[in-house]
Amino acid sequence: MKITVIGTGYVGLVAGACLAESGNDVICADIDETKVKRLNSGEVPIYEPGLEPLIQRNLRAGRLRFTTDTGKGVESSTVIFIAVGTPPEEDGSADLRHVLQVAKTVGLAMNGEKVVITKSTVPVGTARLVREAIEAETEHPVHVCSNPEFLKEGAAIDDFMKPDRVVLGVDSDHAAQVLGELYAPFVRAGAPILMMDVPSAEITKYAANAMLATRISFMNSMAQLCERTGADIDAVRKGVGSDSRIGPSFLFPGIGYGGSCFPKDVKALRKIMDQLDVNGSILDAVEDVNSIQKETLLERLTQRLGDDLEGRIIAIWGLAFKPNTDDMREAPSIVTVEGLLQCGAEVRAHDPAAGEEARALFGDRIQLVSSAYDVLDEADALVIHTEWHPYRHPDFTRMKNLMAEPLIFDGRNIYDPETMDREGFEYHSIGRRTAGL
């Protein structure tokens, strides 16, 4: 099929590359000339495992190209994906200005029947607004559908190529047939294509992210309870997750969720519910717990070392909100680093991918180091924010010899307290006993 994807952010790039990989002729359009030039040379501006070679391979094959001429892309395609950003407004609602501007552009460029799909995460009712914006500019028939993405940063290529399910909100038999054929290569292993009405598809995305965020916040509340009672959150997690009605996924405690999806989608869903007079207090609790949890490591460190950290060196392992991404949007590390700086600490940090993002956020206020061990030199404490694989099995003897004090605050529970006892560390984690005291 001939496809145009409008927007070359995270979702648009992954969708465009994967659709090209399955044999389609794909144009990715964006208004950023510099970005488009970089992409046409095979340079990918985001860190996502496997994405750069996928884009380079399909560029060489001629199945994928990038352009700033959105109208020409619309004219030459029968299927158009809208994948532009929907940043949160001050009140938490999704900003649809970019989506609706693209819809107008699509309408102006229409030269025949098109299937237009909102891939951006948008509130229920957006497809109707998109249809109105398109139809205001053209008399050609248009089918406006919803196809929410369920991509995990760090595993997005696998998620697209081998999805758990494909959710399609369709408005006609024609759209159902076109999109069914488009996604057929991705579900050969038996994953379902769930055809539904458009509003249901729009709500599904928000509901899924809000449910996952709720599980995370619930387990973080349970971790706090475990710490106050002497229980072990790992044992509780296994006991709860073994229930077939609940399952083990997203039951790991930590220092709160971040990234581009959960924070803004929970806020947006809460705003939608408020507008429609639906009780959304459960989401208020999810957000409150998450905000409190992000303060956890800073609070514990200052309780242990004091509020005045002048002259103290604090080492940070991990800045991205999760492994295998450079995304620091809403990352818990931001709360910790800013707090440490306010307390006068010297902050040294290592992250395998998020260096550029950290420089944009912190400038020269922190020292970014290329080696995970080098940040430990004479450090008074180590704080772990991200469970990158290289951090999971370190040389503890080397760490202990480098640090001024063998003190670790682990926000991701990547080590075993008994092991840390044996290695001679004072080890603070989430929802478990403190080792080394």
Query: Could you tell me if 15 and 55 are in contact, meaning their C-beta atoms sit under 8 angstroms apart?
Result: no
Give residue 342's pLDDT. 97
Query: Could you tell me if 200 and 145 are in contact, meaning their C-beta atoms sit under 8 angstroms apart?
Result: no
Residue type at 140 in one-letter notation: H
Q: Which strands make up the sheet holding 407-410, listed edge to edge?
A: 367-368, 346-350, 313-317, 381-384, 407-410, 426-428
Closest CA to 96 of 137, 138, 124: 124
Q: What is the mean pLDDT of the chain?
A: 96
Residue 91 has which token pair? 């009140």
Q: What is the pLDDT of residues 50-105, one digit of tens each?
A: 999 999 999 999 999 999 999 999 999 999 999 998 888 888 888 899 999 999 99
How remote is the C-alpha of 399 from its chain's centroid? 31
Percentage above 90 pLDDT, the chain: 96
What's this model's pTM, rounded to 2 decimal places? 0.91
pLDDT of 303 higher than 90: yes
Maximum distance among all alpha carbons in the chain?
Answer: 74
The residue behind tokens 């061990």 is 373
CB atoms within 10 A of CB 155: 15
Buried b or exposed e, range 273-293, using 16+ CB within 10 angstroms? beeeeeebeebeebbebbeeb
Question: Which residues have CB under 8 Å from 334's CB, separation 6+?
Answer: 328, 361
Closest CA to 365 of 339, 389, 385: 339
Class of domain 294-428: alpha beta
- Active site residues per annotation: 261
CB atoms within 10 A of CB 87: 10
Same fold, 2-196 and 294-428: yes
Give residue 353's pLDDT. 95
Half-sphere exposure of 432 (CA within 13 A, CB side): 25
Locate the domains of the chain by residue range: 2-196, 205-292, 294-428
Taking the C-alpha atoms of residue 396 and residue 362, their distance in angstroms, rounded to an integer, is 29
pLDDT of 260 higher than 90: no
* Angle of CA points 191, 195, 197, to nearest 5°: 150
Closest CA to 238 of 387, 432, 436, 435: 432
Instruction: Average the pLDDT over 254-270 and give the result.
Output: 93
Check whether domain 2-196 has CATH 3.40.50.720, yes or no: yes
Q: What is the pLDDT of residues 359-378, one digit of tens each?
A: 999 999 999 999 999 999 99
Taking the C-alpha atoms of residue 245 and residue 283, their distance in angstroms, rounded to an integer, is 21
Taking the C-alpha atoms of residue 12 and residue 83, their distance in angstroms, rounded to an integer, is 5
Class of domain 205-292: mainly alpha
Give residue 184's pLDDT. 96
Taking the C-alpha atoms of residue 97 and residue 101, their distance in angstroms, rounded to an integer, is 6
Residue 204 has which token pair? 């599904």
